[in-house]
Structure 1
Amino acid sequence: MQLAFSMPHMTRLKATCQPWEAAVTGADQTRLAKWAEKLGYAMISVPEHHVIPKDHVELSGPHYFSAYPAMAYLAGATEAIRVNSCIAILPLQHPIVTAKALATMDWLSSGRVTITFAVGWLESEFDALGVPFHERGAMSEEYIQAILALWTQEAPAFEGKYVSFRDVVFEPKPFQKPHLPVWFGGDADAVLKRIARYASGWWPFLTKPEQIPDRIDFIRSQPDYNGDLTDIFYGFATTRVGEGHVVQDDPKARPGMTKQEIIDRLGWFKELGVTMSAVPIPMVQSIEDYFDYTQWVAEEIMPAVA
């Protein structure tokens, strides 16, 4: 079991954000990224929304990064830790631009990039960007095919309803071969079928922990399963966020759990098939307290679950 680093102030999600996080700056996050790398955390992930409608701000908060520039910045500020998204909204950006951004990032970081795509859920965000919400699944299917073609084909070509290209060259290719790891986030059958075809990782959000083994079996049972599923990410705080970012009460996922509670829950996750998780951000008083807490996790929790 690997542990990802829970970076404060990536969002102001009502269900998970602690009050002290709002004072954390970009400079603080840079220091924390270097700290996380020093302590041996496996990954830092960046959530993404481009705009939040006013009627969602109470639950979702207003504060989100664009995943690709934030990931690139964090990769450039570090030397070993992996960067990922959680998630990047695949249909909201042209796939050639997405493929180029991620290949550039992976090439410059010497292969430290994983990407978690999702189709998106916030219809009014799609409306603001002029993207047809009810076609997002079909768009995502074409987009991932186009991206993989650009990453892996010497003379990439693709013909679809939403994107087409031919007689083009695309370099640099990703540093990682055949391409950087692709994960998908989400829970619907369509998402899991897409994972079976194209991905090596799954990031559940609304799936209950005890349902994970059956859903892994569903992925692997697909007739076009690629055989590549190796990574399942399930964070502690996942069960505190419901559909539409509604707050859920889960005492077993609360911040500030004891050492043994954390170890036991991570052990249970591992039995369910989870390969990576993250400990919740605690109710501390300052960022300096968080430096101490994350060191405690690295020294007391990591060795017990490695």
Structure 2
Amino acid sequence: MQFVFNLPHLLRLKATTQPWEALVTGADQTRMIKCADAWGYDMVAVPEHFVIPTDHVELSGPHYLQSTVAQAYLAGATDRIRLNSCITVLPLQHPIVLAKTLATADWMSSGRMMVTFGVGWLKREFDLLGVPFHQRGRIADEYLAAIVELWTNDAPSFQGAYVSFDDVIFEPKPIQKPHLPIWIGGDADAALRRAARYASGWWSFLTPPDKIAERVEFIKSQPTYNGRHFDVMHGLGTNRVGEGHVVRDDPDARPGMGATEMVDRLNWLAEQGVTVSSVPLPPVSGVQEYLDYAQWVIEEIKPQVK
């Protein structure tokens, strides 16, 4: 199983964040990601929102980065770890610009970029950016097709309701072929059908862990799934966050669980089809204590997981 490094202060969710994380700086994050890279963590993933309405701040927190910019910076600070997002809100961004930023970062990082696309859920964020919220699924499907066209065709051409282009050249192409890995985040049937068509991975959020296997089977049963390798991400702490970022009490997702319990839980997730996971930030007091814990996880826990 691959392990995601939980980089503190990428967001400040009430359900998962500890007070000390709000004091973590960009310089601290740079030091931490260099450690994670050296220790053998497989991936780091960056959340994204552009604006948070004030009535959502208590649960969602105010602090989010632009995912692709942060991924590119973290790529420049590391040598081998892969850079993902969780998630990039696809309908809120122009697909030509987004395709260019992701391809640029993949090219400059020697092929270490990934992206997890989602359609978003925060209606007022869409309203503020002038994007029709109830069309976001259709927009995302079209944008995905346009991005893949730009990444894979030497003479890209696309005609759609939301974006069109022809007689253009698009370079650099991503280093990775046919393109950098696309994952899909979300739990609705529409998201899973989108994953079957376009993606090589699924990031589950609200799906109960005991339902993951049947949802993966749903993805692989779609006529657009062609048997390609397919990753499934579910972190140990995922189910502490409910819809709308509400706080949920899940004894199987609590931070600071013991080694045996953690290994057993991760191996159980592997049996459900999970190939990528992470452990919750433990109740520690600061950066160095967290780094000590993160090193223990990668050296002592990961080797015992399937």
**For residues 50 and 229 of structure 2, what CA distance do their matches in structure 1 show?**
29
SS in 2 for 1:45: strand
Q: For 1:211-240, what per-residue CA distance to the aligned partner results, in whole angstroms no more than 9, with x for missing partners?
A: 011111111111222322510000111100
**For residues 185 and 51 of structure 1, what CA distance do their matches in structure 2 show?**
19
Q: For 1:239-293, what per-residue CA distance to the aligned partner results, in whole angstroms no more than 9, with x for missing partners?
A: 0000000000011111111001110010000000000100101110111101111
Asked if the contact 1:199/1:229 (under 8 Å) is kept, the reply is no
Q: Which amino acid aligns with 1:56?
A: H
Matched, 1:42 2:35: no
**For residues 32 and 226 of structure 1, what CA distance do their matches in structure 2 show?**
38
Q: For 1:128-155, what per-residue CA distance to the aligned partner results, in whole angstroms no more than 9, with x for missing partners?
A: 1111100100000100000000000010
Matched, 1:167 2:184: no
Q: Tell me the equivalent position of 1:225.
A: 225
**For residues 12 and 164 of structure 1, what CA distance do their matches in structure 2 show?**
37
Matched, 1:204 2:211: no
Q: Tell me the equivalent position of 2:27.
A: 27
1:11-26 aligned at under 5 Å gives the runs 11-26=11-26
Asked if the contact 1:115/1:183 (under 8 Å) is kept, the reply is yes
Asked if the contact 1:236/1:278 (under 8 Å) is kept, the reply is yes
Q: For 1:50-87, what per-residue CA distance to the aligned partner results, in whole angstroms no more than 9, with x for missing partners?
A: 00000000000000000010000000110110000000
TM-score normalised by length of structure 1:
0.99
Q: Which amino acid aligns with 2:300?
A: E
Matched, 1:274 2:274: yes
**For residues 102 and 61 of structure 1, what CA distance do their matches in structure 2 show?**
26
Query: Over aligned residues, Cα RMSD in angstroms?
Result: 0.7
SS in 1 for 2:237: helix
**For residues 5 and 237 of structure 2, what CA distance do their matches in structure 1 show?**
13
**For residues 132 and 7 of structure 1, what CA distance do their matches in structure 2 show?**
32
Q: Tell me the equivalent position of 2:305.
A: 305
Runs of 4+ in 1 over 4 A off after TM superposition: none
Asked if the contact 1:198/1:226 (under 8 Å) is kept, the reply is no
**For residues 239 and 229 of structure 2, what CA distance do their matches in structure 1 show?**
23
Asked if the contact 1:107/1:174 (under 8 Å) is kept, the reply is yes
Q: Tell me the equivalent position of 1:86.
A: 86
**For residues 24 and 298 of structure 1, what CA distance do their matches in structure 2 show?**
22
Asked if the contact 1:7/1:29 (under 8 Å) is kept, the reply is yes
Q: Tell me the equivalent position of 2:259.
A: 259
Q: Which amino acid aligns with 1:168?
A: V
Q: For 1:154-202, what per-residue CA distance to the aligned partner results, in whole angstroms no more than 9, with x for missing partners?
A: 1000000000000000000000001000000000000100111111000
**For residues 58 and 78 of structure 2, what CA distance do their matches in structure 1 show?**
34
Q: Tell me the equivalent position of 1:286.
A: 286
Q: Tell me the equivalent position of 1:216.
A: 216
| Structure 2 gap segments, 5+ residues each | none
SS in 2 for 1:84: strand
SS in 1 for 2:261: helix
Q: For 1:74-108, what per-residue CA distance to the aligned partner results, in whole angstroms no more than 9, with x for missing partners?
A: 00110110000000000000000010000000000
Q: Which amino acid aligns with 1:301?
A: I
SS in 1 for 2:52: coil
Q: Tell me the equivalent position of 1:107.
A: 107
Aligned-residue sequence identity (percent) comes to: 65
Matched, 1:77 2:72: no
Asked if the contact 1:196/1:229 (under 8 Å) is kept, the reply is no
Matched, 1:155 2:158: no
Q: Tell me the equivalent position of 1:51.
A: 51
Asked if the contact 1:48/1:67 (under 8 Å) is kept, the reply is yes
Asked if the contact 1:196/1:227 (under 8 Å) is kept, the reply is no
TM-score normalised by length of structure 2:
0.99
Q: How many residues align?
A: 306
Q: Which amino acid aligns with 2:258?
A: T
**For residues 298 and 79 of structure 1, what CA distance do their matches in structure 2 show?**
17
**For residues 226 and 131 of structure 1, what CA distance do their matches in structure 2 show?**
32
Q: Tell me the equivalent position of 1:181.
A: 181
Q: Tell me the equivalent position of 2:96.
A: 96
Q: Tell me the equivalent position of 1:145.
A: 145
